Structure 1
Amino acid sequence: MKLFYAPGACSLSPHIVALEAGIDLELCKVDLKTHTLENGDDFYRVNPKGYVPVLQLEGGELLTEGVAIMQFLAEQKPDAGLAPPLGTLDHYRLLEWLNFISAEVHKSFLPLFWKGTEEEKKKARERILRRMDYIEEQLQNDYLLGNSLSVVDAYLYLINRWLKVQDFDMTRWPRLQAFQERMAARPAVQHALQEENLS
Structure 2
Amino acid sequence: MKLYYSPGACSLSPHIVLRELGRDFDIERVDVATKVTENGADFRAINPKGYVPALQLADGEVLTEGAAIVQYLADSNAARHLAPEPGTLARARLQEHLNFIASELHKAFAPLFHGATGEARDAAAANVGRRLDHLEKQFSDGRAYLLGDGFSVADAYLFVVATWTGPTGIGLTQWPRLAAFVERVRQRPSVVAAMAAEGLA
Q: Quote the residue 2:171 is aligned against.
A: 169
Query: Helix, strand or coil for the counterpart of 1:28?
Result: strand
Distance 1:9 1:169 in 2: 17
1:122 has 2:122 as partner? yes
Q: Quote the residue 2:4 is aligned against.
A: 4
Letter in 2 for 1:168: I
Deviations 1:67-115 (A, max 9, x none): 0000001011101100001111100000000001101100011111122
Distance 1:34 1:49 in 2: 13
Distance 1:97 1:116 in 2: 27
Q: Quote the residue 2:190 is aligned against.
A: 188
How far off its partner does 1:117 sit?
A: 4.9
Distance 2:115 2:45 in 1: 25
Distance 2:11 2:73 in 1: 13
Instruction: Tell me which of 135, 150, 153 is aligned to 1:151.
Output: 153
Distance 2:34 2:118 in 1: 25
How far off its partner does 1:118 sit?
A: 3.5
Distance 2:174 2:122 in 1: 18
Unaligned runs of 5+ in 2: none
Distance 2:183 2:103 in 1: 25
Q: Quote the residue 2:72 is aligned against.
A: 72
Distance 1:39 1:181 in 2: 34
The normalised TM-score by structure 2 is: 0.96
Distance 1:177 1:69 in 2: 26
Q: Quote the residue 1:13 is aligned against.
A: 13
Q: Quote the residue 1:101 is aligned against.
A: 101
Letter in 2 for 1:145: L
Query: Helix, strand or coil for the counterpart of 1:142?
Result: coil
Matched residues, percent identical? 51
Query: Helix, strand or coil for the counterpart of 2:18?
Result: helix
Question: Aligned residue pairs: how many?
Answer: 199
Distance 2:11 2:41 in 1: 19
Q: Quote the residue 1:59 is aligned against.
A: 59
Q: Quote the residue 1:85 is aligned against.
A: 85
Q: Quote the residue 2:23 is aligned against.
A: 23
1:197 has 2:195 as partner? no
Letter in 2 for 1:3: L
Letter in 1 for 2:162: N
Query: Helix, strand or coil for the counterpart of 1:58?
Result: coil
Letter in 2 for 1:147: D
Query: Helix, strand or coil for the counterpart of 1:3?
Result: strand
Letter in 2 for 1:155: Y
Distance 2:16 2:9 in 1: 12
The normalised TM-score by structure 1 is: 0.97
